[in-house]
Amino acid sequence: MDDRISVKLISAEDILAANCINIEEIIAVIEKVLLQYKSGNILLPDKISQTFDEESQSRINCMPSAIYTLGTDGICGVKWVSVFPQNPLLHNRPNVSGVIVLSEMKYGLPLAVMDGTLITTLRTACMGAIGAKYLARRNSNAYCAIGAGEQGKMHFAAIKTLFPQMDTCYVASRTAKSETNFCMEMGEKYPTVRFIACGSNYQRASENADIIVTAVSSQLPLLKADTIKKGAFYCHVGGIEDEDEVSLKADKIVCDNWNSLKHRSTPTLSRLYAEGRIKDEDIYCDIADIIDGTKPGRENDMEFNYFNSIGLSFVDVAVAFSFYKKIVEKGMGIDWIIRDSSIWECIKRVM
């Protein structure tokens, strides 16, 4: 019997060095796995969320899934991710931090332990970009970023990849410093885009935007319905960053997975569903139904479309496995031997 077990330790630096950061490739991986889920090829258990503080919504989530069509015999994985919304403001620590564990499904052996924070950031932003791809006007050129953190920056980068004509970005955040930093950093990366700091004026940031993204840790309704113009697209990323009327006025509400989202406690749509103000029939569809052509996406230039991505563990696993393959092919990462002999042989050494 071969009792040796080893895993690949993969850092964020390994992911970057292996040239895994290709937005169009990541989007293709996500679209493919969304269709695999729709076809019944994925096991998606309920997410386990340990909320430590109801007011701040500080929590650690355990998100498992299995994809039968990945690898030779299937790949399963779990993301262990913390969300501590007050970290950036109070402790100068990141809001999100996590790891992803991958296993193969023939023998059930672990394959990798990977940085999950970078993957989460990329997955979340690319899912938002997929929403924009199908639900925003193709000629959209004005962008609103409510929230100037990592997700705010990454969402702009992902959506700009699909909308290269984007030439204006309004940004509103809690502090002038974060807005200034956003404009300086993003301006260096995208010199043809005009970045406008709005001085925490969320109305000014959103009223002229074709694409609006709220990527904030706040539990306050910052986005107001009367500041959204006809024909806009809104991507809801976090919890309660939009007032109720925003979703209630939408022509189409689309989710990454409505069945998963409606039972959560944090997002605006989940609360409205619990209160009976939004019903199943008010949800236009899951985004996979638009990807495969079952339903049309945007149908005219006057629609206001609302997209909410709750985050699906099988998407994290699919993206992580695509990175894992590249890193293994390049001989990168650290091979960590968990055990080199049977359990009894290990114990005998110390008894």
Range of the domain at 331: 5-119+313-348
Average pLDDT over residues 222-230: 95
Query: What is the pLDDT, as a whole number, of residue 1?
Result: 62
Confidence of residue 95 (pLDDT cuts 50, 70, 90): confident
Same domain (yes/no): 64, 182: no
Same domain (yes/no): 94, 188: no
Same domain (yes/no): 228, 265: yes
Query: What is the pLDDT, as a whole number, of residue 49?
Result: 86
pLDDT digits over 332-346, tens only?
Answer: 999 999 888 777 777
- The overall average pLDDT reported for the chain is 94
Report the domain count for the chain.
2
CATH number at residue 80: 3.30.1780.10
Confidence of residue 275 (pLDDT cuts 50, 70, 90): very high
Same domain (yes/no): 213, 259: yes
- Phi, psi dihedrals of residue 212, rounded to the nearest 5°: -120, 130
Same domain (yes/no): 95, 195: no
CATH number at residue 165: 3.40.50.720
Query: What is the pLDDT, as a whole number, of residue 294?
Result: 98
Q: Is the dihedral of CA 169, 123, 250, 173 positive or negative?
A: negative
Same domain (yes/no): 142, 200: yes
Same domain (yes/no): 298, 162: yes
* 295 CB-contact burial (10 Å; exposed 0-12 / middle 13-18 / buried 19+): middle
Average pLDDT over residues 152-176: 97
Same domain (yes/no): 238, 290: yes
Q: Give strand ranges (E) for the chain.
A: 5-10, 42-43, 48-53, 58-67, 75-83, 96-104, 110-115, 142-146, 168-172, 194-197, 211-214, 233-236, 252-255, 285-286, 305-308, 334-339
In a domain? residue 207 = yes
In a domain? residue 126 = no
Same domain (yes/no): 161, 253: yes
pLDDT digits over 98-113, tens only?
Answer: 999 999 999 999 999 9
pLDDT digits over 281-298, tens only?
Answer: 999 999 999 999 999 999
Average pLDDT over residues 144-171: 97
pLDDT digits over 245-255, tens only?
Answer: 999 999 999 99
pLDDT at 202 over 70: yes
pTM of the model: 0.93
